[in-house]
Homo-oligomer: A and B are copies of this chain.
Amino acid sequence: MSPTMVEHSGLDIMCLNKYCHSSSSSSSSEHDKKVFSKLKQSLSGDYPRKNAEILSGQYGTNVLLIGASLMLAIAHHGPAVKEEHLLSFVTCLMILQLIWMMWYILVRDRQKNSRTEKDVHATTCWIRGGLTLLALLSLIMDAFRIGYYVGYQSCVSAVLGVYPVIHATHTIAQVHFLWFHIKDVIKSFETFERFGVIHAVFTNLLLWCNGVMSEAEHFLNNHKRRLSALGYGNLTIVHSEPHCNCTTSTCSMFSSSLYYLYPFNIEYHIFVSAMLFVMWKNIGRTIDLSSNQKRMATKTQGLTLGPILGLLALASTIGILVVYITHVEESLRMRQSAISMFYIYGMVMLVFMCSASASGLLIYRADHMPLDTSKNPSRQLDTELLFGSSIGSWLMSWCSIVAVLGTNSSPPYRWTNLIYSLLIVLEKYIQNLFIIESLYRQQEDTESEDPELPAAPEIFSVTSSLAPPYNGIINRAYETPDRTCVTMENEQEESGEVYRCPRKPSEVPLPVGNKVVDPPNIKRQILKNIAVFLLMCNISLWILPAFGCRPQYDNGLEQETFGFSIWTTVLNFAIPLNLFYRMHSVASLFEVFRRV
């Protein structure tokens, strides 16, 4: 419940009071005037929160949909809509966002004396650091784009030159915003700021879509080229090369390097938009201070098996990537053996990942602890994104399974593909459970001196905003402390809440020694190892499709069952989601690693 709401209801009652008196005593013209002034006042007043959310959310969605419809028109390669149109639209959006960010920063700077509330859960240093790295790679990409434009200057639209300049400015400004303002809880000009933030969210989402589209087209052209080379022929490859010669010697280098930088640019935009979305969710929120505490520092003792296995996975992944990319371009037999190799490697990885996640879940089952249900938009979004982005990969896997079961041809990798796809479904299923449970479990406070009551502060925190703190004190004046405790516990249980009485020191058995703290620590060390291992495995599984290892294009089984156009549509939808899933689970697993 926000303070605004309370104010509104107060206002409402006042108005009604006035109204009662006036209607019984005054004339109707005066009454009309009053109604009019009331109307005017209400229209200029703050909009209720739910409506402001819908209002701005709908605006953002429509901005994205305009971009999406332009992209669909471009995908047709018709004469009407060209890439320039989309780029100018995106450039306008970025300029708008720049203006808003400038305005926001200026306003904040002038209000410096009044402290802004911060939501510490909104992001971590690690994520911001990672994003800064991704932003740097994006800047390099912009530099390449500018270079490319300079080379072809005479025959390409000026938009192709303006776009990278604005994009670079946008990237720098946005990184500054991320470092200094992303945690802000906005409480002034709420409705206007909502529009600003959601505009930023959807501008980044559109930039993501744009990157995904460019990348998908690149892969599709590669795929068509391979099919033509294998004699399937008859597929038109659309080249978007300009119609003049490059004036510098580096144009082809620029355009081919771009595709190695795309994956980073894509991840950058989707992550920023997720973080801005959390900021949007936080607008006008009343932060519960008790749960808004800094986390403890990360401890790295006992980390051996996880990192070693993870590095092993990472190294073998890079090997597989190189072998796959070189082999898949060659003869049919080499191609088939490369695909088989990929599936076998994938199966080994996934079996390990499944068992790691499953043992993590088993540890949690053996160690009951209530979940932390306090409000936390960032965590909520993490959960939904994990779940939502799994859908792409699940759809792809089920399609593969249907294709394997339905096909008549029998390449050597038919059954390994089936098992691999089943494992992909299972692995995401278990990993999601593990990550979400880890994020929702209450953090144990290792600094606690009292091993008897490790759960007490957490139980309290769940309900601390609900439990009237004066209660005990008032009662205690009339009853003995012990009796109070009993009554309170009974009361709270009936109303569905529990909190513990502070025990008297004499009742608490003294800690027997350091030994008793060990076992949870062993559990925690295992969990930390699992998290690190899963993190590195997810990086591996991100690297493979991001840099061109996509057997779903190459194995031909699914294409036979679903046809070229349906299957490429599925892949164009599923692969970007899958890439995002892997990156997002890396970030979540890092969070898990720091929490356990």
Contact = CB atoms under 8 A, between A and B. Distances in A.
A107 interface: no
A201 B171 CA distance: 43
Interface residues of A, number: 120
A569 interface: yes
Nearest to A464: B495
B429 A58 contact: yes
A488 to B, nearest CB: 9
B498 A408 contact: no
A8 B373 CA distance: 13
Nearest to A490: B470
A466 B469 CA distance: 13
A55 B13 contact: no
Contacts of A495: 465-470
Contact of A369 (B9, B58, B401, B471): B9
A38 B366 contact: yes
Number of copies of this chain that the complex holds: 2
Given A81-B406, A369-B12, A3 B496 contact: yes
A358 to B, nearest CB: 12
Most buried by B among A17, A38, A368, A371: A368
Q: Is the interface of A mostly helix, strand, loop or mixed?
A: helix
A570 B76 CA distance: 13
A513 B516 CA distance: 73
Given A16-B454, A20-B509, A73-B403, A286 B496 contact: yes
A39 B492 CA distance: 29
Given A366-B38, A395-B69, A471-B468, A78 B560 contact: yes
A554 interface: no
A521 interface: no
A399 interface: yes
A228 interface: no
A39 B494 contact: no
A60 to B, nearest CB: 11
Contacts of A407: 80
A433 interface: yes
A157 B8 CA distance: 65
Interface string A303-315: 0000000000000
A29 interface: no
B13 A371 contact: no
A30 to B, nearest CB: 14
Contacts of A143: none
Contacts of A12: 367-370, 454-455
Contacts of A55: 433
Interface stretch (A41-49, A127-135, A161-169): A41-49
A1 B462 contact: yes
Given A24-B512, A58-B387, A368-B11, A70 B402 contact: yes
Interface string A389-432: 01100110011011100111000000000000000010001001
Nearest to A49: B371
A10 to B, nearest CB: 8
A513 B23 CA distance: 11
A436 B54 contact: yes
A41 to B, nearest CB: 9
B395 A65 contact: yes
A73 B394 contact: no
Contacts of A373: 1, 5, 50
Contact of A75 (B468, B474, B566): B566
Nearest to A46: B368
Given A55-B433, A495-B465, A42 B366 contact: yes
Given A6-B498, A8-B370, A391-B65, A51 B437 contact: yes
A458 B13 CA distance: 12
Nearest to A288: B496
Contact of A61 (B48, B66, B391, B513): B391
A371 B5 contact: yes
A73 B563 CA distance: 8
B408 A80 contact: yes
Contacts of A15: 368
Given A370-B9, A394-B62, A497-B1, A437 B50 contact: yes
A474 to B, nearest CB: 7
A1 B463 contact: yes
A471 B471 contact: yes
A487 B459 CA distance: 26
A259 interface: no
Given A12-B369, A50-B436, A78-B563, 14 more contacts: A24-B513, A35-B366, A50-B440, A51-B433, A51-B437, A54-B387, A58-B429, A58-B433, A69-B401, A73-B403, A79-B408, A81-B402, A468-B471, A470-B491
17 contacts: A9-B455, A13-B452, A35-B366, A48-B370, A50-B371, A51-B371, A51-B436, A54-B383, A61-B394, A65-B395, A73-B402, A78-B562, A465-B496, A468-B491, A468-B495, A469-B494, A474-B475
